Amino acid sequence: MTSSVFPSAFGGDGGETVLSVSGLSVTFRSGVQAVRDVSFTIRRGETLALVGESGSGKSVTALSVLQLLPPSGVTLSGSVSVLGTEMVGAALPVLQTVRGNRVGMVFQEPMTSLNPLHSIGQQVEEAVSLHQPLRGPALRARVVELLTLVGLPNPEKRLNALPHELSGGQRQRVMIAMALANSPDLLIADEPTTALDVTIQAQILDLLRDLQRRIGMAVLFITHDLTLVRQFAGRVCVMKGGQIVESGDTAALFADPQHAYTRHLLASHPSGQPVPVAEDAEDVLAVETLKVWFPVRGGLFRRVTDHIRAVNGVSFRLRQGETLGVVGESGSGKTTLALALLRLVQGDLGGRAVFAGSDLMTLPRPALRALRRDMQVVFQDPFGSLSPRMSVGEIIAEGLRLHDPLPEAEIRAQVAAVLEEVGLPTDSQDRYPHEFSGGQRQRISIARALILRPRLIVLDEPTSALDLTVQAQIISLLRDLQRRYRLTYLFISHDLRVVRVLAHRLLVMRGGEVMEDGETEAVFAAPRHPYTRALLAAAFPDQDAGSGL
Amino acid sequence: MAGRLSPLWQRRLDAFRANRRGWWSLWIFSTLFVVSLLAEVIANDRPILVGYDGGLYAPVLKEYPETTFGGIFPTPADYRDPEVQGLIEEKGWILWPPVRFSAQTVNFTLQQPAPSPPSLENPLGTDDQGRDVLARLLYGFRLSVLFGLVLTVASSVIGILAGAVQGFFGGWLDLLGQRFLEIWGGLPQLFILIIVSSIIVPGFWTLLIVLLLFSWTALVGLVRAEVLRARSLDYVRAARALGLPEGRILLRHVLPNAMVATFTFAPFILSGSLVSLTALDFLGLGMPPGSASLGELLSQGKENLQAPWLGITGFVVLAALLTLLVFIGEAVRDAFDPRKTLR
């Protein structure tokens, strides 16, 4: 089917040059030089990965290939040539013949890159008909063909589906179908799998690899995830501060990194061992058959007709100084479990959760409020979890002011001490959250929890939104604090690599239920449940699931 | 506490100053406002100070009978009367305000029939009753701005409270509140104002209350939406996890973040209040007849098209005032936006 539509595949070597970037510099109007003198080429059938942390200029580079940066806000210099057509300074009609036609683009966020008001059929149709004279049934047939190609099940029936009716992975498939609509010579994939669950990630990558082989297009793959690069890319360019610091064949570069930054990047995967738990550690939290059901109401009188069983019969025990890792994909109920333990969800709670001698599920509100200083929480999103209108000092001291009315000077001293403890300068007190990077904000969140000297900290994906090197720093900070204060963590994550180095025990959740639990190393070494095995295979593609690192 | 907060407020002040247009507008507006607050010593038909026979008198503050200055009648002295002036200057001196008319003073010595064009004595001319336009402008400006400020503050406070309560607690309260607002918003405001003004005698406070009945709804929807949004954010959750009571979460975490939207609206509410008072005065439904106000000046301008100084003065002052307020509002918005970077 595809051979009639797409040109036959070329090998990676010796193909014509599809994209050639030389001496590209991008300066924003604010004076920030986001990209500095970047040069690379991609040949047909080749995959080039641009790797770097946030702010390294990799996305700006990708956007300047199609001249998608706002023309009034930036100054570009250098040359970007797609199949011999110069893009820098080209007129809009020229750009439009290239955009979506010779070059397709897939963005990171499948939730926002599709128009929520148009059916997916319409959106793919639009992408096709902009550059091809197809109309009516022929156009429709082409759309169905594309959706089949990207592996969307039942494409004929799905044409009228709106984006919200599809899952994240399916939306990303639709995005890829749109990018492929005109058999492009180059596909730019800007973090195409970052927002997806690990098992879906693997599927999307397989799809991209398969399509590349069949269509013979070149792929510019932008990511921060070195594991993906190793799996997926033939060549790598490592970017830092707007410059390419090192480039070369993936295998060679991973085996023998030359630049210090590349070595740093390669070394900064989560590492180390959980802090050993004392033999005689007492139980901090004992959870028995915990349930969180959300009522579904229907009918005229909004009677409860059904329940969504977000958490259904979860039991575990947590000892002082221990970390329990809760893993699962989105929708598995792991965050709901955490919020239920903190009594921050509305819904029908059932079961017991005994913490410090009282059952959190039935404790009346005033008693619960007093207990809150002993259990704190750190959320995933470092940007959303700090009130933008309060200074860092106010944010951190808030809990202290509530539970422990102290003189102002004493509060300031304690805030300074806790800032130092989480590795931030003590003069950060009077600054606002927006002046800090993601990793620093996460440290502020940790400080806010830590200043109350809690026994239990619930960590809801605290490292997921962070760069790899920052992730490693936060992990070692968490481990230090655990050792020093014998803190107990409930650590929620979808990232098995992070969980492995921090958690003593593991709870694998799916659909609100526990699939498997046990000592972390035992689960990694010999996963019993097929779902656990699938998760491990997706997270550690280099190894057999059973053998570990 | 104040010393500790100073870096934050310093930053806000810097952001405000960085908006040069708003900064200058604030200075111009404040100067005009202060000047108008001192209207009695700037435009008055009584002298500020009188020195007579070795004694000091302040007619601005106190009424003296004519007999004090050696006159015949025990009635309050009319200092514009050349007779009285002559009596005083015989044994002393008179310190006049820069403008020798108050808002109600009729200039009986006009060379032309009122309204008379600008002259040295009346720099902006007189209105059709022979009253000095500059003096009336000064008093009218003060009245309009004071009225607008009070109305803005009152309607903002009520609106923010109503919106915050609806958004934060939601449920039936929100549902009923929203329906009430829809019905309230459907009432024909102008007709009600006309009816009310025919029943009660309009004055500063009665007009304020009547206008407040309708102006408080402006912010409710906005604040409610902001609060609804903020309610589900992680930092509100984190505050709950700290054990903060709901009321404090609303006050410390939710409301301040709804404030930028409110501040962007404040100048428009203020200018809207000014305009509604002006409109009522223009229609003759506002302040009691004879009071100096911008609307009254405009309506005189309309009725005396042969005297363009009336209409032009009213228009220029009103337009400048509204423009200044909008510029100030923009600068305030910048100051409270923490994402605004300073150059």
Tell me the average pLDDT across B310-314: 88
Amino acid at A61: T
| Residues on chain B touching A391 (C-beta within 8 angstroms) | 8
ipTM of predicted assembly, 2 dp: 0.71
3-state secondary structure of A13: coil
Residues B171 and B53 in one domain: no
C-alpha–C-alpha distance, residues A404 and A406, integer Å: 6
Residues B25 and B88 in one domain: no
Of B235, B240, B341, the CB nearest to A344: B240
Are the Cβ atoms of B257 and A387 closer than 8 angstroms? Answer: yes
Are the Cβ atoms of B245 and A387 closer than 8 angstroms? Answer: no
Are the Cβ atoms of A402 and B237 closer than 8 angstroms? Answer: no
CB proximity A402 to B under 8 Å: yes
CB proximity A448 to B under 8 Å: yes
pLDDT value at residue A456: 92
Residue B112 lies in a domain: no
Are the Cβ atoms of A434 and B339 closer than 8 angstroms? Answer: yes
| Residues on chain A touching B4 (C-beta within 8 angstroms) | 408, 412
Of A372, A384, A408, the CB nearest to B242: A372
CB proximity B243 to A under 8 Å: yes
Chain centre distance of CA A21? 28
Q: Which helix (H) or strand (E) element contains residue A521?
A: helix A520-525
Residue B180 lies in a domain: yes
CB proximity A370 to B under 8 Å: yes
Query: What is the 3 state secondary structure string of chain B?
Result: CHHHHHHHHHHHHHHHHHCHHHHHHHHHHHHHHHHHHCHHHHECCCCCEEEECCEEECCCCCCCEHHHHCCCCCCECCCCCHHHHHHHHHHEEEECCCECCCCCCECCCCCCCCCCCCCCCCCCCECCCCEEHHHHHHHHHHHHHHHHHHHHHHHHHHHHHHHHHHHHHCHHHHHHHHHHHHHHHHCCHHHHHHHHHHHCCCCHHHHHHHHHHHHHHHHHHHHHHHHHHHHCCHHHHHHHHHCCCHHHHHHHHHHHHHHHHHHHHHHHHHHHHHHHHHHHHHHCCCCCCCCCCHHHHHHHHHHCCCCHHHHHHHHHHHHHHHHHHHHHHHHHHHHCCCCCCCC
| Residues on chain B touching A372 (C-beta within 8 angstroms) | 241-243
Are the Cβ atoms of B256 and A448 closer than 8 angstroms? Answer: no
Residues B90 and B233 in one domain: no
Residues B67 and B188 in one domain: no
Residues B29 and B75 in one domain: no
Put simply, whether the predicted model's pTM sits higher than 0.90 gets the answer no
Architecture of domain A323-345+360-539: 3-Layer(aba) Sandwich (3.40)
A386: distance to nearest CA of chain B, Å?
5
pLDDT value at residue A229: 86
Are the Cβ atoms of B244 and A403 closer than 8 angstroms? Answer: no
Are the Cβ atoms of B233 and A448 closer than 8 angstroms? Answer: no
> Which tokens hold the place of A463?
């490292």
C-alpha–C-alpha distance, residues B137 and A328, integer Å: 72
Are the Cβ atoms of A452 and B242 closer than 8 angstroms? Answer: yes
| Residues on chain A touching B243 (C-beta within 8 angstroms) | 368-370, 372-373, 399, 402-403
A179 vs B83, more confident: A179
Residues B17 and B55 in one domain: no
Query: Could you read off the pLDDT tens digit of each residue along chain A, which spans 549 residues?
Result: 333 334 333 344 457 888 999 999 988 877 778 899 999 999 988 899 998 887 788 888 988 888 888 777 788 889 999 888 898 888 888 888 888 888 988 887 777 788 888 888 889 998 888 888 888 888 999 899 888 888 888 888 888 888 888 877 888 888 888 888 888 899 999 888 877 777 778 888 888 888 888 888 899 999 888 888 888 888 999 998 889 999 999 989 888 888 888 888 888 777 778 888 887 888 889 998 898 888 877 766 777 777 888 888 899 999 999 999 999 887 788 888 988 898 888 778 888 889 888 888 888 888 888 888 899 999 888 778 888 778 899 899 988 888 888 888 899 999 999 999 888 888 888 888 878 888 888 899 999 999 988 999 999 888 877 787 888 888 989 999 999 988 999 999 888 888 889 999 999 998 888 999 899 989 988 899 998 888 888 777 765 433 333
Residue B221 lies in a domain: yes
C-alpha–C-alpha distance, residues B151 and A332, integer Å: 53
Amino acid at A15: G
Nearest chain A Cα to B258, which residue?
A: A389
Are the Cβ atoms of A448 and B253 closer than 8 angstroms? Answer: no
Residues B10 and B65 in one domain: no
Nearest chain B Cα to A434, which residue?
A: B339
Q: Residue B200 is part of a domain; what is its CATH number?
A: 1.10.3720.10
| Residues on chain B touching A390 (C-beta within 8 angstroms) | 252-253, 256
User: Is A2-266 in CATH node 3.40.50.1820?
Assistant: no
CB proximity A398 to B under 8 Å: yes
Are the Cβ atoms of A384 and B234 closer than 8 angstroms? Answer: yes
3-state secondary structure of A114: coil
Q: Which of residues 108-127 of A touch B (CB under 8 A)?
A: none
Are the Cβ atoms of B243 and A390 closer than 8 angstroms? Answer: no
Are the Cβ atoms of B239 and A398 closer than 8 angstroms? Answer: yes
Cβ burial of A144 (10 Å; 0-12, 13-18, 19+) is middle
Residues B57 and B183 in one domain: no
Of B233, B235, B241, the CB nearest to A376: B241
CB proximity A355 to B under 8 Å: no
Q: pLDDT tens, B8-38? A: 677 778 888 888 898 999 999 999 999 988 8
Residue B120 lies in a domain: no
Residue B128 lies in a domain: no
Residues B54 and B84 in one domain: yes
Intra-chain end-to-end CA distance of chain B, in Å: 28
CB proximity A450 to B under 8 Å: no
C-alpha–C-alpha distance, residues A19 and A417, integer Å: 53
Are the Cβ atoms of A388 and B1 closer than 8 angstroms? Answer: no
Residue B233 lies in a domain: yes
Residue B22 lies in a domain: yes
pLDDT value at residue A5: 39
**Domain that residue B87 falls in:** 45-96
Are the Cβ atoms of A381 and B234 closer than 8 angstroms? Answer: yes
| Domain count across chain B | 2
Are domains A2-266 and A323-345+360-539 of this chain identical in fold?
yes
Q: What count of CB pairs under 8 Å joins A to B?
A: 76
Are the Cβ atoms of A430 and B242 closer than 8 angstroms? Answer: no
Among candidate residues B65, B96, B127, the one where a domain is terminated = B96
Structural domain boundaries in chain A: 2-266, 323-345+360-539
DSSP A467-506: -HHHHHHHHHHHHHHHHHHT-EEEEEES-HHHHHHH-SEE
Residue B312 lies in a domain: yes
Chain centre distance of CA B206? 16
Residues B85 and B13 in one domain: no
Residues B198 and B256 in one domain: yes
> Which tokens hold the place of B63?
């009424």
pLDDT value at residue A11: 40
